[in-house]
Structure 1
Amino acid sequence: MENEIKNDGTDQTQNSEVVENMEVENMENDTPESGLEVSGNLNELSDDETSMERLMDLYEESFKRFEEGEVVTGKIISLDKDYVLVDIGYKSEGQIPIHEFKDEKGEVAAKVGDAVEVMVEWWDDEEEVVVLSKEKAEKIKVWDEIKKAYDDGGTVDGVITNRVKGGFSVDIGVQAFLPGSQADLRPIRNLDEMVGQSFTFKILKYNRKRSNIVLSRRVILEEEREAARAATLASIEEGKVMGGIVKNITEYGVFVDLGGVDGLLHITDISWGRVKHPSELFSVGDEITVKILSLDLEKERVSLGMKQLTPDPWSTAAQKYPVNSRITGKVVSLTDYGAFVELEEGIEGLIHVSEMSWTRKVRHPSKVVSVGEEVDAVVLDIKPESRRISLGMKQVVPNPWDVISEKYPVGTTIEGKIKNITDFGLFIGIDEGIDGLVHISDISWTKRIKHPSEIYKKGDVVQAVVLDIEKENERFSLGIKQMQTDPWETVGERYDVGKEITGTVTNITDFGIFVELEEGIEGLVHVSEISKEKIKNPGDKFNVGDMITAKVMNINSDERRIGLSIKRLDMEDDQSILSDYINKMGPATSTFGEILRENLQEKMNEDRNSN
């Protein structure tokens, strides 16, 4: 050190002499020109005495020895590759390892002339070297600040450096511990998100000897929340619009922090439209604007609304969607009875399954539409007071039943593919969505059909005649047998009454036997017309498939009946035999012939009456 006064072991007397000599020199140098008068008066020398005292203080300070562990302020006087030399006002400079001045990049953050706080680590009397530490001085200062913050109820700032068991390690100048339960007001789902963030903390307790410090962020947050809560409760009122932060999300709504006071935004008050789950619209931490619907300050219950910030769309729905107007909407939901279509946010209409198609019988709306699909529809009815709109899809296109009778008038021959076969008939595709029914009774004029599948199968192409169209009941009747003339219309021409015919027994019953005269044409021989003898069971005499000869007794084309008789044919044969016998015998006595004819005539009359 320049002009340094070294302690060379001389006693106090020698030091006094040096001081006196310095004083004499100073007094001799003072001249009238310098503005000082030399006087024997001691009072006039008071300024010089003060200067001497100051000089003595400086001299004594040069021999002052700081305590080890004491923090002092010094000035950097030089830097080399290993050490930084710091003047702390002692007879020799102190040195600090250069690494204590390097930053994260390894660069030295110091220059000559900078003031720096250092701690005296130890003295090397032999080498007359003072070992100093900048880092330890900073730590001592930190501990002093920690003590002050703890005593005064203050706070400290720090950075969470990493996770440890039970919480976090925090750098506040020294390492401190933040328990997980003290990190926030609520349990933290992802603890790693907090690492690297800076926060303000309260000191719960510390032990300097053990270097143990326990911090809390939750205490600060609770104080802030309580202050915000008091302010919120003082200003909150029904109808007020205010901002909040989404705190929690449930299936029935969203809890919003209004500033120390939580309110519930119920799912039904989020939007005029359909909301399946609040998580579709919100995330924890979102800032939203809500309206106070109701509040109970005693129970601290606050009901919130978002949809109330906009007008109810149903208030103008009747004007926007009049009956018969055409709309386009998105299918948002399907039920067994129909599909709900969103016309705009908050307004949905129902398309009933019966209003989805003119021709198809829709069992479930999923067969026609799907969720998310855009559809065109017509407004059938609207009731804003009930918040209901009835829609129709089929009304968007013309009703095919309105033109079907013009396209296919009665008597028209059509050709189509069999789409379905039932017990009662065939369904034939006519136009898209329109099927015609051929009833089982209209398949054949003559055949007895137990089931249509005996003759046809699904997919067969057939021709039929349009018999009837009922637009109101949406029925289209067809006939296959009508493609040909009814054979019963001319049966009287082919089978005269009294004509002898031959046929095959097709069925035997208690009341007679059925005989097929031609394909589809049958006659009945009643049990009383089978024989002159009384027959109880026709099956005793005939079998199905037997060929018989009978006489046509009567024909009823309207009722499709032909009456046959075997007995009459046999009686005619008997009468013919008798006539031949009489003719061969020649003239007979009148008495015998008359008697025979009378008996025969009576017998025939009896038989005729019995029928």
Structure 2
Amino acid sequence: MEANTHGDIFLQAMEKESVKDTESEGPLRPGVVISVDSNVVFLEMGGKSEVVVPLEEFEKAPAVGDKIDVVLTGDRRDGVPIASKTRAERMGIFDNLRDAIKNELPVKGTVKEMVVRDNIPKGFMVDLGGDIKAFVPYSHIDTKRYDKPEDIIGQKFDFVILEKRGASITVSRRVYLQKTVKKLYAKFFEDHQVNDIVNGTVEEIDQNFIILNVEGIKAFLHISDFSWKYLSDFRGVVKYGDPMEVQIISLDKTKDSVKVGKKQLLPNPWDGVENKYSIGDVVNGKVVHFRKEGAVVEVEEGIEAFLHVSEISWTQRIRDPKKFLKKGALVEVKIKSIDTERRRMDVSLRDLQENPWHDAEGRYPRGKKLHGTVSSILDFGVFVKFEDGIEGILRKEDVDWLDSGVELKDRFKKGDEIDVVVLSIEPGRERLRLGIKQLSDNPLQTFAMNYPKNSVVEGTVKSVQEHGVVVALENNLEGFIHISNLDKNDVEKTDGVVKEGEKIRAVIRYVDVVKGKIELSRKDLMQAEEQKEFQKYMATDSHTTGAFSTTMGSLLADQFKGLKIGEEKKAAPAETKKKSAKASKETEKKNEQE
């Protein structure tokens, strides 16, 4: 038994008490008070026998004629037998204790003092009456832990007896609660149903709920079921021990759950609200609390309306309503919707203000250049505010033609005055899109027009990478040469082919204006230049004679056989191609004749 571990603590606590086990005392005898003096009370025990009882055993001096049970102590005073009222009471209590142990019944006791060892609470001494003390271990004082155990000193509880050894008694309130709670819940569920009205007292208080003791069981009352009026915190509204009449709103036998409400006993202010208010009505209210997405405005007691952040201002982007409104502020709002079933009313503050978006399309036509002030900077864009309060969004991709990943917080500061151009406007959705890069031509578009496919360009190697090299071109543009297009001969590594800072020439393979890419080929240029040199040679060779020249020409022709210069490469002049072909045929014919 758990209480055995606390036996030594109990015995030490009992050293202060010289309580005698009265189970061996004589029988109880009734007496009648015949007189009271300053020290003793005289009792007539029947016939002519009398006894005296010390007056100190009475909390209050008895009156003549009172009937009192006593037990003889065996001592005498001036020849008169001495009796004890305290021992008689103790004998009755011990009889009750034996009955409680036999039948597993609870006993009542009052918590008198805390037992402490090494500055740690170990338990409590409990007065069972008749000067009989019992010990309750700290873990057995309740089913929950007390933050301030000293607060229970002086309180009276029911206990069960865990152990009795002579005058040493160990009791538990926790076991009593655990044993009785099931019976109490079973009786409550048998006696009650949903909508019944019951009475309870406040036993536990939290910010959002309270626990009531209702007929010995715990009933849960959420703050939303306490009043039709908004409450943010139960603390300070109710006190421990407050009596409360409530209505049962749900019962769950499987979970021993009882939920109750207080507002259900009060008139519902939403009944008939549709007869008092209509959509479009302008009403006065008070800001009573805030939510993340807006403020709650009390229109009248128990009737609250929701003011969404988007309905506060036409021009200001409000994320935190507390920065625009103060709790307790009186506001005039316009009703936008009423839902009596959900007890919800939506209101607007901005509907009572002039809407600058009504004629914004005429003032902000597409392509118009504007001058505004940076009002805020986010990861995806910059908000720009204009004199009439309207804000537009400058998205990251509309800032720079060449740097789509521009760091906006490095480039802009709140309060900066900047020039922008209108890209689009949607007054109905209150959206204005702006651009900066559109104020100038797209350098990539210009480059594509100036350098069509197969054009030769010159640049500087900016970086050498595993799969190719990056080439710096004019106007801060960059091109890329894949490793497969880096040299006329196939290479497995880029190292050693070109160096950073080296000036190189290449041809345009393609320009993707949308994706901002320029693909180059050094290989195509090298092959085209070799082909050009070969064609020059063949043109010259057509005017020479001799077997040696013819043989060399044939060898070179064989070497470049299969080399195709397609549309991606710079084409040789048509006239040169014809001359080259004619010269080649004449050489072959001469060789055949020889």
Q: TM-score range by the shorter chain?
A: 0.3 to 0.5
TM-score with structure 1 length normalisation? 0.44
Q: Which has the higher contact order (CA 8 A, sep 6+)?
A: 2
Name which one, 1 or 2, has greater alpha-carbon Rg.
1
TM-score with structure 2 length normalisation? 0.45
